[in-house]
Amino acid sequence: MKQRYFIHLSYKGTAYHGWQIQPNGISVQELLMKAFSTILRYPIDIAGAGRTDAGVHAKLMVAHIDLNEALEDVAAFIFKLNGLLPNDISVQKMLTVKANAHARFDAYSRTYDYFLISKKNPFLQDLAARVYNYLDFESMNKVAKCLLEYTDFTSFSKSNTAVKTNNCTVTQAQWVKHDDVWVFTIQANRFLRNMVRAIVGTLLQVGRGQMTEEEFRAVIEAKDRTKAGTSAPAEGLYLVNIDYPSELFL
C-alpha cells in the first residue's frame, strides 16, 4: 500500500541550477530523486513546494513523495539518504501525510529571508549579498510596509510565467539587523518567480535615496517589471519556512 511523505530538507544552492530539474545543469530535485531511487531500487518522482532559482538557498524546502510502502525505520532511511547526498544537501525529516496532501498546493504560507552585508566576510562568501554604499534601512522598512497594502505584484514577477494570477497576500516585510548582517524577512501565501529578489533590488534603490515611497507605490501600481529595480543577487536569498494545515499529517 502506497504511503505519501512530506520531506523536510535544506540545501546550499551555490552549486545548483535551482531546485527544479533542468536540462542544462544539476538541480537539487534531480539529486534527491537519484538518492531515493538508489536506496529503494525503483523510480521515484518528487514534487517540491516551489522552485528556487540558481544560487538560492533553502533552510527549509518541503517536497512530497509516494513510496510503495511505509518505511519501517524512517531515521535509518534518512541516514542512508544523507550518506548518498552531497554535503550541501541534507534531509532532516520525513513525515507521513494523507494520500492527497500536496507540498505545493496545500501550503498556505511561505517565508523568505534575504541576507545583506556591507563588509567583506569570508564566512559568508556565497551566503549573503554585499553592498558597498550606505543604505537608509529606516526608510527601507517604512516603504516595505507598503507591500502589505497590495495584492498584484506583476511589477516584481519574472515575465512570461505560466501562473494564472500575479496576486499574492504579503503578511510580513521587514529589515532587522543581526550583528553585521541585515536580514529582510518577507512572508506571503505565495510568491511569484523572482519576486523577492526584485522587491529587495527595488528597496535597495529606496535605501540609496534613489526612490521615494510614492515612487515605490507607483512601481507596484504600474504592473510592469521594467519599472522595478534590478533583481538582488541570488546568494543572499533563503527559503526559510513553509506552513501547512495540521490535518494533512497522519
Concatenated DSSP letters of 186-249: EEES---TTHHHHHHHHHHHHHTTS--HHHHHHHHHHT-GGGSPPPPPGGGEEEEEEE--GGGB
53 flagged as catalytic: yes
- Residue 153 vs residues 19, 56, 63, 110, 115: alpha-carbon distances, Å: 23, 21, 26, 16, 22
Amino acid identity for residue 14 in this structure: T
pLDDT at 22: 87
156 near 170, Cβ under 8 Å?
A: no
> Tens-digit pLDDT profile for the chain (250 aa)?
899 999 999 999 999 999 999 888 999 999 999 999 999 999 999 999 998 999 999 999 999 999 999 999 999 999 999 999 999 999 999 999 999 999 999 999 999 999 999 999 999 999 999 999 899 999 999 999 999 999 999 999 987 776 789 999 999 999 999 999 999 999 999 999 999 999 999 999 999 999 999 999 999 999 999 999 999 999 999 999 999 999 999 9
Closest CA to 58 of 196, 215, 225: 196
Active-site residue among 45, 53, 106, 152?
A: 53
Q: Distance between CA 132 and CA 186 in Å, rounded?
A: 23
How many other C-beta atoms are found inside a 10 Å radius of the C-beta of residue 183? 17
Placement of cell 539518504 in the chain: 81
pLDDT at 159: 79
Tell me, what amino acid is at 34? K
